[in-house]
Structure 1
Amino acid sequence: MSTIYMIDFILKELKAEASPVNKLRKLLRTTGIEDVIEKGDYVAVKMHLGSRGGFRIIRPPFVREVVEEVKSLGAYPFITDTCRPPSLEYLEIANIEGINPLSVGAPVIIADGLRGNDFRTVSVNGEVIKEIEVASAIAEADSMIVLTHVKGHRMTGFGGAIKNVGMGCVSKKGKRRVHEKLGGEPPMWIEEKCDKCKACVKTCDHGAISMIGGVIEIDTEKCVKCYRCVWICPNRALVWSPIGIDRFIKALIEATAAVLSTFERNKVMFLNFVCDVTFACDCPPWSTNPIIPDRGILASRDIVAIDKASLDLIDKCEGIPGQIGPGKIRSIPKGISKFLEIHGIDPYLQVKYAEDLGLGNSKYELYKL
């Protein structure tokens, strides 16, 4: 059985010492950061850096506390993510979101290089994928702290630490390799549903979509099958087949295993921020109202346990009026699997497949600080 530690966002005392920001370093120490990070380590602090138009990523004060704790151990932290837009544009987005060396106290770098082509190929020999391209700065780091904003995801049901590692720590080529397991086909355009708004054209980071003479055209060479365009379309005029969902999730788990294999045992720690929990991920150029009240921050050295605990917290919580789709507001009661209800994909599949692969234990004990 694994151990999870938690900072509750419900303050029993209204004073500085009770602030989740001020308690974060205690959470790190209680979870055993001294055993994860050694003096002189280069420490990847992995997080999503946001999207232009989005505003629900992990807030800079929390990131700064993690950085300061790592520095206090004599190590060298750097904030990192991998290319979605090319790196220079992505760094500007991070700056707009408030993630920059001045605010967080550490360098901010894109782990897979200028255009997403800097990687180390790692063998995994899985059921679905045999190898994956892990971003070089992740593969070469001595240790890693994974900061995850917990939220829903249309293709996996749920975006937690597993998704942050398996998709967020691989290069552009690696992302394409996993996404292709959805079926390997670009999204399909349904002309009769399209109102020619060009939202898909504007949101594609890869320049793969264009509208010519009122017809959507998709460049199959440029398309990485991320399906961000499917997300953004207000009329569901771009769609994919759900047949490959199971293979996609298995590929994601195998990619996660590959990334973690580049670190020595017990050199990775996970923090899940169960706050600002939205129905969608942080990649689209918009953010929506949360579906539950803010719960807190979980910490563990077990990636399976922390995602299971995060899902359990969400499902045991009484929902609040939150957005679950274009123009759709709903409160989902406690006891209902919220992301299954919204996306039709069981979010616990990630937990099951990761446990089956030996990445961790779904049984846990949770202790509040």
Structure 2
Amino acid sequence: MEKSNVYFSDFRVGPGSNLLIKLQKLCKAAGIQDIDMDGKFVAIKMHFGELGNLAFIRPNYIKAIADMVKEQGGMPFLTDCNTLYPGSRKNALEHLDCANLNGFNTITTGCQIIIGDGLRGTDDISVPVANGEYVKEAMIGRAVMDADVFISVSHFKGHEMTGFGGAIKNIGMGCGSRAGKMDQHSSGKPLVDPELCRGCRRCARECGSDAILFQNNKAIIDQELCKGCGRCIGACAFDAIGVPQWDAGEVLGRKMAEYTQAVCAGRPCFHISLAMDISPNCDCHGENDAPILPDVGMFASFDPVALDQACVDACQRQAPMPNSQLADNLAQAGWHCHHDHFKDSNPNVRWKETLEHAEKIGVGTREYELVVV
């Protein structure tokens, strides 16, 4: 497979321009205007952020993208699918309220919001996965698949389960209905090390399945109730919770790649990632820790695999931010340095396998040419 082009702009601007103009210039240089959008429904897949989280992409950027779609005659709508955990996005009504409270509405973005898998997260469609090894049919939100054109806009950041959250995470996991998310998470369910558990109960507050009980002030996870979503792992400050199945993270990443294949196959797609406010964990958290890396820039490509690889490479070249989860870990006595910012931030993650599998099944290529705009 030939190298894919990934287009890049940093966040430097001077008088007479701004970042929104720069983002539009980047997308046009990357070829977004080559997509026939005239009279077509265009899904803009994004993450509206959990209430209390402030690291998500600002609505101003989304409006700049929606405006380009409308200039090309397209009919854009913003979309995401419901979550497994409680939070503020577990059904369409709360999801829409959350989006509005975080600044996403018709005034700020210039387009409507449609929750991809409906009121209860059950409005999905089974989509065959070409070359799927783990998933033969992906359960995708119906509104996502009803669109003629698909655009992903990702906040590139760290992630406690998948190493980083970029295009593949945003598309594969984000477009899965609740059944689809359960399917992707089902390979590994966490267990608690009682010697490390402090009984703080933060994990139970994060659990959306009421699967965490306490005996003698130690957490116990009911494996029958657990959905395997991993929120408890990210919630634990004492590394007391982990997945005993060694390949669980690897399988999760490969399933996300196969869900991405299902979403993108057979229609025009375009992908944008903003590597800024690079928090150590997912925007699904009701908080965001300090960035682990400085802001890097904006990336765009027709290839989501090349896009993620370019974002990873750019992040690995950055110096860790002081007073961050990454810097604190590296400063620990006896810390085993992985020379990988995402593994050093969240040591149990496996992210390379996701990109390798995505390339293997034909989602894209990790080989890219970086074009600076």
Q: How far did 1:122 drift?
A: 1.2
Quick check: 2:160–2:233 contact (8 Å CA) kept in 1?
no
For the structure 1 residues 191 and 227, does the alpha-carbon distance in structure 2 shift closer, same or farther, using more than 3 Å as the test? same
2:112 and 2:210 map into 1 onto residues whose CA distance is: 29
Quick one: distance in 1 between partners of 2:199 and 2:183?
30
User: How far apart in 1 are the matches of 2:65 and 2:304?
Assistant: 18
Contact preservation (8 Å) 1:156, 1:245:
yes
Deviations 1:224-246 (A, max 9, x none): 21111221122334332233222
RMSD of aligned Cα (Å): 2.5
Q: Is the contact made by 1:230 and 1:238 (CA closer than 8 Å) also made in structure 2?
A: yes
Distance 1:289 1:68, change over 3 A: same
Aligned partner of 2:140 in structure 1 is 134
Aligned equivalent of 2:7: 5
Q: Map of 1:102-181 to 2, 5 A cutoff?
A: 102-124=107-129, 126-181=132-187
Partner in structure 2 of residue 15 of structure 1: 15
Give the Cα separation in 1 of the matches to 2:50 and 2:168: 20
Q: Residue 227 of structure 2 corresponds to which residue in structure 1?
A: 224
For the residue of structure 2 that corresponds to 1:16, the secondary structure is coil
1:223 positional shift: 3.4
Deviations 1:101-131 (CA, angstroms, capped at 9, x unpaired): 2211111121011111111111225222222
- Tell me if structure 2 keeps the 8 A contact 1:37–1:70: no
Maintained 8 Å contact 2:249/2:350: no
Distance in 2 (alpha carbons) for counterparts of 1:325 and 1:178: 27
Equivalent in 230, 233, 238 of residue 235 of structure 1:
238
Cα distance between partner residues in 1 of 2:248 and 2:345: 19
1:203–1:285 contact (8 Å) kept in structure 2? no
Shift of 1:179: 0.6
Alignment match, 2:44: 45
Query: 1:80 corresponds to which letter in structure 2?
Result: T
* 2:28 match: secondary structure: helix
- Give the superposition deviation at 1:142: 0.5
Report how many aligned residue pairs link the two structures: 358
8 Å CA contact 1:150–1:272 kept in 2: the answer is yes
* CA distance, structure 2, for counterparts of residue 222 and residue 90 of structure 1: 24
Q: 1:119 and 1:275 mapped to 2: Cα distance? A: 32
CA shift at 1:330, angstroms? 6.0
Q: 1:322–1:329: 8 Å Cα contact kept in structure 2?
A: no
What is the deviation of 1:48? 0.9
Kept in 1: contact 2:329–2:344 (CA 8 A): no
**Kept after mapping to 2: 8 A contact 1:4/1:300:** yes
Asked if the contact 1:253–1:354 (Cα under 8 Å) also holds between the matched residues in 2, the reply is yes
| TM-aligned CA deviation for residue 291 of structure 1 | 1.8
Write the distance in 2 (CA, Å) between the matches of 1:73 and 1:4.
22
Q: How does 1:143-292 map to 2 (within 5 A)?
A: 143-181=149-187, 183=188, 185=189, 187-209=190-212, 216=219, 218=221, 223-241=226-244, 242-261=246-265, 263-264=266-267, 267-292=268-293
AA aligned opposite 1:114: L
- Rounded to whole Å, the distance in 1 between the matches of 2:280 and 2:22 is 28
- Letter aligned with residue 285 of structure 2: P
AA at the equivalent of 1:150: F
Q: Aligned partner of 1:338: which letter? A: H
Once the two structures are TM-superposed, the CA of residue 207 in structure 1 deviates from its matched residue by 4.6
Report the counterpart of residue 26 of structure 2 in structure 1: 27
Q: 2:102 aligns with which of 78, 97, 114?
A: 97
Q: In terms of mean alpha carbon deviation, does 2-11 or 302-311 score higher?
A: 2-11
Q: Would the aligned equivalents of 2:7 and 2:26 in 1 still touch at CA under 8 Å?
A: yes
2:46 and 2:153 in contact (8 A); partners too:
yes
Q: Deviations over 1:119-160 (max 9, x none)?
A: 111122522222210110111110111000011122221211
Distance in 2 (alpha carbons) for counterparts of 1:16 and 1:206:
51
Matched-pair identity in %: 35
Match of 1:58, SS state, is coil
| Counterpart Cα distance in 2 of 1:210 and 1:94 | 32
Which blocks of at least 5 consecutive residues in structure 2 are unaligned?
Answer: 84-89
Aligned twin of 2:310: 309
Q: Quote how far apart the aligned CAs of 1:196 are.
A: 3.6
Question: Partners of 1:65 and 1:207 in 2: how far apart?
Answer: 41
1:213-260 residue CA offsets vs partner (Å, 9 max, x unmatched)? 956565656532111122112233433223322222222211111111
Query: Do the aligned residues in 1 keep the contact of 2:329 with 2:345 (CA within 8 Å)?
Result: no
1:366 aligns to what SS in structure 2? strand
Deviates more, 1:274-283 or 1:204-213: 204-213
SS in 1 for 2:299: strand
Structure 2 residue identity aligned to 1:58: I
For 1:284 and 1:357, the matched residues in 2 are separated by 31
Cα deviation 1:266-319 (Å, max 9, x = unaligned):
x11000101111221111221011122211100110111111110110011222
Q: Which moved more, 1:315-324 or 1:199-208?
A: 199-208
For residues 193 and 76 of structure 1, the distance between their equivalents in structure 2, rounded to whole angstroms, comes to 52
